[in-house]
Structure 1
Amino acid sequence: MHVFSVSKLFKHLFLNFMRFNATDDTGGGGGGGPEITPEIEAVIAARIAEATNGLKAKNSELLGSLQKQKETLKQFEGIDVESVKQIMARFENDEEAKLIKDGKFDQVIERRTEKLRAESERQVQQALEKVKAAEKRAQNFEGLVLDNHIRAAAATAGMHPQAIEDALFRGRSIFTLDAEGKAIQLGEDKHPVLGKDGKSPFTPAEWLESMKATAPHWFPTGSTGAGGGQGGSKTTNAKTMKRDQFSALPPVEQAETVRSGVQIID
């Protein structure tokens, strides 16, 4: 309806224009206007259609643009505009954002890679420090366990309490602990050295038994009987414990027993 009204308006104005010009040409006499032939009607209709089609096309273009804007605005529904402005302001001030804005993506990747590398190195260093600390604690614990094995063997062999420290010093260079925490000696091939029976590993007890010949000062000499300068047997006031009782004690208590100077007897 709107287009039809515009067409009629254009047609009405054109006809009035033609009549006005015709009246001026005749000096005001005559009375009729120019004849409107079908050809003229067609020209008028074409001109009107050309003008109105341009308006319709422009109107459709504006409606399409408006629809696109509405669809775009739907994406931002529920978003606080002021908060977005603040975020964008911080983004603009960020050094990395400036690099991105300038198209320096390689520098951004390099910076981020360096941060990841530094963080990874820090975590690796922390892990290594924890491992070293754990290894140190394990070594200290293994040393204590090995010492207790040697102390227990020393008590069983009836060593002088004063000689135990010397035995510990030598024993640490000979024995180590296996996976089960037992004291063993490793050969050059890193396999356990076997004892006299050819089956069981060589133990601190067997080692100390052999030391009675090479280090007799580690062990008491016993009674000398009659004769000699003293003219009788030599007695001591040392505490004693039977060997089977000592063997029944836990390794820690065995070590304490030896340190206290108790002599193990059969």
Structure 2
Amino acid sequence: MLFRNLFIKYYAAAGEGGGEGGGNGGGNEPEITPELQAIIDARVNDSVTGLQNKNNELLGKLKKATETLKTFDGIDPDSVRSILQRFSDDEEAKLIADGKLDVVLEKRTERMRTDAEKQIKTANDRAGQAEAFANKFRDRVLNDAVREAGVKAGVLPTATDDLILRARSTFRIDEEGNAVAADADGNAILGKDGKTPLSPVEWAESLKDSAPHLFPQAEGTGAGAHKGGGSNAGLKRSEMSSAQKSEFLQKHGQQAYLRLPK
């Protein structure tokens, strides 16, 4: 467009002054005069200078942007945008911006209360499980202690369960794992000497008067069944079943049972 305008301005006028010569020579290339060349050069220089200035301006902006980006090295833009978005959408932020600090405090207090209740419930559940486990352990220790005391006191093997049930109302397991006798108020029960605590063995032996059925019959009671070689003649301990042994002990006593041949 620039060269077209220059041609119209300068060569059209030259054609008009040439008359027919201009018309006849219409197929020849126009002559570029020094004046025209100077104008063309000036316009080209202006265009180039403008482009250079624009290029320098863009390069300056690019350099400045590059320097600015260096301050964000190691920062994830997406994460930053996400955080800013969450903050802007956060209910508390909006409430604070609206000056509703009391509402914010109330909500935070409610959250803290809820968290505390959850923690307390978790702690209580764990404590309950631990207590159940401890009670199970205590029962087992007490049962073993009473069973051992029953053997030492001569309680019938078949009466062991009865003995354990009776012991639970008198004995408990202390922190050291020992079976100790205590009354309903938790006070220690003393033995016959009035000084030392009542032991499971002493307690079991005391039942001979109040619960004689827990023990074998005294020697001589019902002994006629075996002294004369009656129905027990020929019985051997090794040949008796568990039921027969139990029945014999209840009827004739431990001493009579021990006198039977092996």
What residue number does 2:32 align with?
Answer: none
Partner residue of 2:178 out of 178, 182, 188: 182
Q: Find 1:106's aligned residue among 95, 102, 105.
A: 102
Question: Is 1:90 paired with 2:65?
Answer: no
Q: Could you say which residue in structure 1 is the equivalent of 2:150? A: 154
Residue 38 (structure 1) aligns with: none
The residue aligned with 1:130 is 126
| Per-residue deviation, 1:142 | 0.7
- Tell me if the contact between 1:146 and 1:176 (Cα under 8 Å) persists in the aligned partners: yes
**In the aligned structure 2, how far is the partner of 1:123 from the partner of 1:188?**
35
Tell me how far apart the structure 1 counterparts of residues 223 and 163 of structure 2 sit (CA, whole Å): 33
Classify 1:210/1:131 alpha carbon distance in 2 versus 1 (closer, same or farther; 3 Å): same
Q: CA deviation at 1:191?
A: 2.6
Distance 1:215 1:238 in 2: 27
- Distance (Å, rounded) in 1 between the aligned partners of 2:81 and 2:198: 80
**Structure 2: gaps of 5 or more residues:** 1-67, 239-248
Q: Is contact 1:158-1:219 (8 Å) kept?
A: yes
2:160 to 158, 164, 174: 164
Please, which of 204, 209, 220 is the counterpart of residue 205 of structure 2? 209
Give the SS at the match of 2:220: coil
Map 1:1-266 onto structure 2 (within 5 A).
Answer: 77-78=71-72, 82-83=77-78, 84-187=80-183, 190-221=186-217, 223-224=219-220, 228=224, 230-232=226-228, 237-238=236-237
Q: Distance in 2 between matches of 1:86 and 1:93?
A: 10
For residues 105 and 227 of structure 1, the distance between their equivalents in structure 2, rounded to whole angstroms, comes to 95
TM-score, scaled to structure 1: 0.55
Q: Kindly state the Cα deviation for residue 126 of structure 1 after the two structures are TM-superposed.
A: 0.3
Structure 1 segments of 4 or more deviating over 4 A? 79-86, 233-239
Give the letter aligned to residue 163 of structure 2.
A
TM-score, normalised on structure 2? 0.55
Structure 1 portions without partners, runs of 5+: 1-73, 240-260
Deviation, 1:152, is 0.2
**Contact 2:170–2:183 (CA<8 Å) still a contact in 1?**
no
Letter matched to residue 180 of structure 2: I
State whether residues 180 and 198 of structure 2, in contact with CA within 8 Å, keep that contact through their aligned partners in structure 1: yes
Answer whether contact 1:184 1:202 (CA < 8 A) is retained. yes
1:183 to 1:86, Cα distance in 2 relative to 1, 3 A: closer
1:228 deviates by: 3.3
Residue of structure 1 in register with 2:30 after alignment: none
SS at match of 2:175: coil
1:193-229 deviation per Cα after TM superposition (whole angstroms, max 9, x unaligned): 1111222110111111111122211111254399835
Measured at CA, do residues 215 and 95 of structure 1 come closer, stay the same or move farther in structure 2, by a change above 3 Å? Answer: same
What is the distance in 1 between the residues matched to 2:115 and 2:228? 80
Q: Determine the structure 2 residue equivalent to 1:21.
A: none
- The answer to whether the Cα contact below 8 Å between 2:142 and 2:179 also exists between their aligned partners in 1 is yes
Which range moved further: 216-225 or 144-153? 216-225
1:78 CA displacement: 3.5
Higher relative contact order (CA 8 A, sep 6+): 1
Contact 1:226 1:232 in 2 (8 A): no
Q: Is the 8 A contact 2:138 2:173 kept in 1?
A: yes
Matched letter for residue 165 of structure 1: D
Residue type matched to 1:174 in 2? T
Question: Is the 1:187–1:193 Cα contact (8 Å) retained in structure 2?
Answer: yes
The change in CA–CA distance for 1:189 and 1:92 in structure 2 (over 3 A counts) is closer
